[in-house]
């Protein structure tokens, strides 16, 4: 998929404005396979890693001024990027936005690029509890909030107090502080946060507990994951949302699809809701496997599965 002349000019203009002006990296034509946990994805026209909030603000205004399309990525652990890649600018929040501060008792302000697992470790060291159930989810805070990541009956939305976003609409960026209610947390979505919002900071409401007790809980959740999930191979976690009252993994397993392959993409024999990359899987392989699973599940079980992972650069919204 080639860029039109107008789009190329916009990207060039943005590149020239930012290159040498930011301390963070500003890179042209970068394969996104290096920035996703699937290890899949074609190039982004431009990838920018802002160092700190000031650079993120500057970058956001420049994106608006030049009229470029953009995509925010955290750890890329819930996305499938097409082989053609992304036409526009990828704003990568880690590792440049990772500051954490304890405000009042139990309240933590954290920048969106911080890894969830690092935050959990840091909270444990400070005797702050409430996030342990999410241990092992390999996302950033921004991605976790956008997806309302969760496990063991707990979601990040349960403990979010505020979400700070830059809204890139119109001619000027708008800074907004959303309450948890405005963020509108639902099953694997924050419905109040859209594609033109960049989450840059989140305020969490934790509680104080004994460090050893926090560690014990965290270790328990990590072992649970290790036993059940194929953590040794690249993946994007669960591919499909659980239909109401059902487990997508169990349904796929019942259909006998564990181990099914398209190219190097395979339904994990360990957990049927995971597709793993055996080495050289393309996005096209994964997408064809996704379609095959949906077809078989509908035919055999009468259930319509819906993707949990975000499909990027496939031109289907």
Ligand X SMILES: Cc1cc2nc3c(=O)[nH]c(=O)nc-3n(C[C@H](O)[C@H](O)[C@H](O)COP(=O)(O)OP(=O)(O)OC[C@H]3O[C@@H](n4cnc5c(N)ncnc54)[C@H](O)[C@@H]3O)c2cc1C
> Residues with catalytic annotation?
188, 238, 308
The alpha helices in the chain, defined as continuous H runs, are: 5-18, 53-66, 116-125, 141-147, 180-183, 211-228, 248-254, 283-301
Residue 313 Rama label (left phi>0; alpha psi -120 to 50; beta): left
Residue among 6 and 315 whose Cβ is closer to ligand X: 315
Which window, 1-9, 39-47, 196-204, 284-292, contacts ligand X (CB under 6 A)? 196-204
Residue among 34 and 256 whose Cβ is closer to ligand X: 34
Residue among 139 and 192 whose Cβ is closer to ligand X: 139
Q: Which of 33, 82, 112, 260 binds ligand X (CB under 6 A)?
A: 112
Among 259, 307, 247, which Cα is nearest to 283's? 307
**From residue 122, how far is each of 51, 108, 112, 128 by CA, in Å?**
21, 11, 15, 8
| HSE-up of residue 138 (Cα within 13 Å, Cβ side) | 19
Residue among 105 and 227 whose Cβ is closer to ligand X: 227
CB of 148 to ligand X, least distance (A): 7
β-pairing, 79-81 vs 107-111, is unpaired
Residue 100 Rama label (left phi>0; alpha psi -120 to 50; beta): beta
Rounded to the nearest 5 percent, the helix, strand and coil shares of the chain are 30, 30, 40
Residue among 151 and 301 whose Cβ is closer to ligand X: 151
Q: Which of 22, 59, 159, 198 binds ligand X (CB under 6 A)?
A: 198
CB of 99 to ligand X, least distance (A): 14
CB of 308 to ligand X, least distance (A): 8
Q: Does 33 bind ligand X (CB under 6 A)?
A: no
CB of 231 to ligand X, least distance (A): 6
Which window, 46-54, 72-80, 121-129, 244-252, contacts ligand X (CB under 6 A)? 72-80
37-56 residues in contact with ligand X (CB under 6 A) are 37
Site string for ligand X, 133-172 (x = CB under 6 A): ----xxxx-xxx-xx-xxx---------------------
Cα 266 → chain centroid: 21
Q: Does 77 bind ligand X (CB under 6 A)?
A: yes
Q: For residues 105 and 206, is the Cβ–Cβ distance under 8 A?
A: no
CB of 254 to ligand X, least distance (A): 21
Among 241, 234, 242, which Cα is nearest to 265's? 234
CB of 232 to ligand X, least distance (A): 10
Q: Which residues bind ligand X (CB under 6 A)?
A: 37, 71-79, 93, 112, 137-140, 142-144, 146-147, 149-151, 197-199, 229, 231, 235-237, 310
């Amino acid at each position: 998929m080639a860029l039109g002349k107008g789009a190329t000019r916009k990207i060039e203009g943005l590149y020239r404005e930012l290159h040498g002006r930011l301390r963070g990296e500003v890179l042209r034509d970068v394969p996104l396979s290096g920035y996703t946990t699937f290890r899949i994805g074609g190039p982004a026209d431009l990838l920018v890693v802002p160092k700190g909030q000031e650079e993120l603000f500057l970058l956001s205004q420049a994106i608006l001024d030049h009229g470029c399309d953009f995509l925010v990525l955290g750890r890329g652990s819930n996305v499938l990027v097409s082989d053609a890649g992304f036409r526009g600018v990828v704003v990568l929040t880690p590792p440049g936005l990772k500051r954490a501060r304890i405000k009042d008792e139990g309240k933590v302000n954290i920048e969106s690029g911080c890894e969830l697992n690092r935050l959990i470790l840091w909270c444990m060291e400070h005797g702050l509890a409430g996030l342990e159930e999410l241990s092992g989810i390999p996302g950033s805070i921004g991605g976790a909030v956008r997806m309302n990541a969760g496990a063991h009956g707990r979601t990040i939305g349960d403990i979010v107090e505020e979400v700070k976003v830059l809204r890139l609409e119109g001619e000027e960026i708008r800074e907004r502080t959303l309450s948890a209610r405005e963020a509108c947390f639902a099953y694997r979505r924050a419905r109040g946060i859209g594609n033109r919002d960049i989450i840059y900071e989140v305020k969490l409401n934790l509680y104080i507990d004994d460090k050893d007790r926090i560690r014990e809980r965290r270790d328990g959740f990590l072992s649970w994951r290790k036993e059940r999930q194929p953590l040794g191979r690249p993946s994007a976690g669960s591919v499909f949302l659980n239909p109401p009252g059902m487990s997508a993994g169990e349904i796929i397993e019942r259909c006998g699809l564990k181990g099914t392959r398209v190219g190097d993409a395979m339904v994990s024999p360990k957990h049927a809701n995971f597709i793993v990359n055996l080495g050289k899987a393309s996005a096209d392989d994964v997408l064809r496997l996704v379609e095959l699973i949906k077809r078989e599940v509908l035919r055999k079980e009468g259930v319509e599965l819906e993707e949990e992972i975000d499909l990027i650069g496939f031109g289907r919204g």
